[in-house]
Amino acid sequence: MRDTGGVTVLHDARTRDFASDNYAGAHPEVLEAIVAANGGHQGAYGADAYTEALQDVMRGHFGPEAVTFPVFNGTGANVVALQAMLPRWGAVICTTTAHVHVDEGGAPERVGGTKLLPVPTEDGKLTPELVDREAWGFGDEHRAQPAVVAITQSTELGTRYEPAEIKELVEHAHSLGMKVYVDGARLANAAAGLGVGLGETTTALGVDVVGLGGTKNGLLGAEAIVVANPELAEAITYLRKADMQLGSKMRFLSAQLLALFSGDLWLRSAQHANAMAARLRAGVEGLEGVHVTQATQANAVFATLPEGVADRLRERFRFYDWDAARREVRWMCSFDTTPGDVDEFVGALTEVLAAR
């Protein structure tokens, strides 16, 4: 511990782990934006200059009719958005690895009252054919009615959809009378990897609503719901409050989102995290006993390790098991991961493997 003049620092700021991009701190440019927004008084609950300016910035990314709603976290964005998109009798088709299905404590079901229809996939991605496994029973009063297709970009397995794949999914879903939601917790990483804009992989392809990630890309508890379909905006206006996602001092959420998306900070940060993941993959995939299991298309590397290796490596670095039965792990890189961090991690893994 050390005293920095009023605040006691309780951690070693040199520590880097590979468990999650949520482990990273806030980007310095984002912290500067929060401080800059702090002077004087501004209207509460979004009636402030920063939230107003945010609307224009987001329309530049997502189209002239886009409406943006800052929220506190990704779970809140997902719950509010899906509620707004669904009739009370509706259901959501997603993958079995979708965050809304496995990582939100049942919030879509418990809070949102949403029926999920998960479909198994090998790479975390839906296709029209996979959607059709659950897109049936329309008009059957005994079955929750499929009403939304929810995809994640980039996916929970570190893969990403090509724009053509999303366009095909959107056209198929719309032809069935269904809407499309993109959980974009790592949308910046996908867009950076594809070399396209944020809207070019979502709303420009017909996606109805986007949950726009910020926390995993350097923000401090700020995400957003972006609605391309203005008919849904009214519902989100009320649901955001009812679901406890309406910030009273919203200017501080909006100031962060402005810092990230008004210029190229989102792109620089995502490109860097992606590059570090590529460096990590290149460093481990030739090691004996290490098998990379998914394409590395964003800022995640998935691999299987020999028995006992993960636990010994975790004595120096924190990271998560993905499938313990297969000894599969997930390593995440962040905007502040350095080449030295990656090389140190690869060196530690090499030592553990050699010591078996």
Instruction: Say what the pLDDT of residue 330 is.
Output: 98
133 in Cβ contact with 119 (< 8 Å): yes
Instruction: Say what the pLDDT of residue 277 is.
Output: 98
Instruction: Say what the pLDDT of residue 5 is.
Output: 64
Q: Is the dihedral of CA 105, 111, 113, 116 positive or negative?
A: negative
Instruction: For residue 75, give Cα distances in angstroms to 20, 105, 247.
Output: 16, 9, 15
Instruction: Say what the pLDDT of residue 6 is.
Output: 74
Instruction: Say what the pLDDT of residue 229 is.
Output: 84
Domain definitions of the chain by residue range? 2-24+265-354, 28-261
Query: What value, to the nearest 5°, has the Cα angle with vertex 282 and ends 294 and 202?
Result: 45
Fold that domain 2-24+265-354 belongs to in CATH:
Aspartate Aminotransferase, domain 1 (3.90.1150)
The DSSP result for 148-191, as a single string, is EEEEESS-TTS----HHHHHHHHHHHHHTT-EEEEEETTHHHHH
Prior bond of 154 cis (ω within 30°): yes
What is the layout of strands, in order, in the sheet containing 328-332?
A: 291-292, 300-304, 328-332, 320-323
49 in Cβ contact with 255 (< 8 Å): no
| Amino acid at the residue 11 | H
Buried b (16+ CB within 10 A) or exposed e, 170-206: bebbeeeebbbbbbbbbbbbbbbbbeeebbbbbbbbb
Q: Is 132 exposed, middle or buried (0-12, 13-18, 19+ CB in 10 A)?
A: middle
310 in Cβ contact with 327 (< 8 Å): yes
Instruction: Say what the pLDDT of residue 4 is.
Output: 60
Element (H, E) at 341: helix 339-354
Instruction: Say what the pLDDT of residue 231 is.
Output: 86
Residues of the chain with pLDDT under 70: 1-5
Instruction: Say what the pLDDT of residue 230 is.
Output: 84
Is the domain defined by 28-261 classed in CATH 3.40.640.10? yes
Q: Decide: pTM greater than 0.75.
A: yes
Distance CA 283, CA 280 (A): 5
Q: In whole numbers, what is the pLDDT of the chain averaged over residues?
A: 96
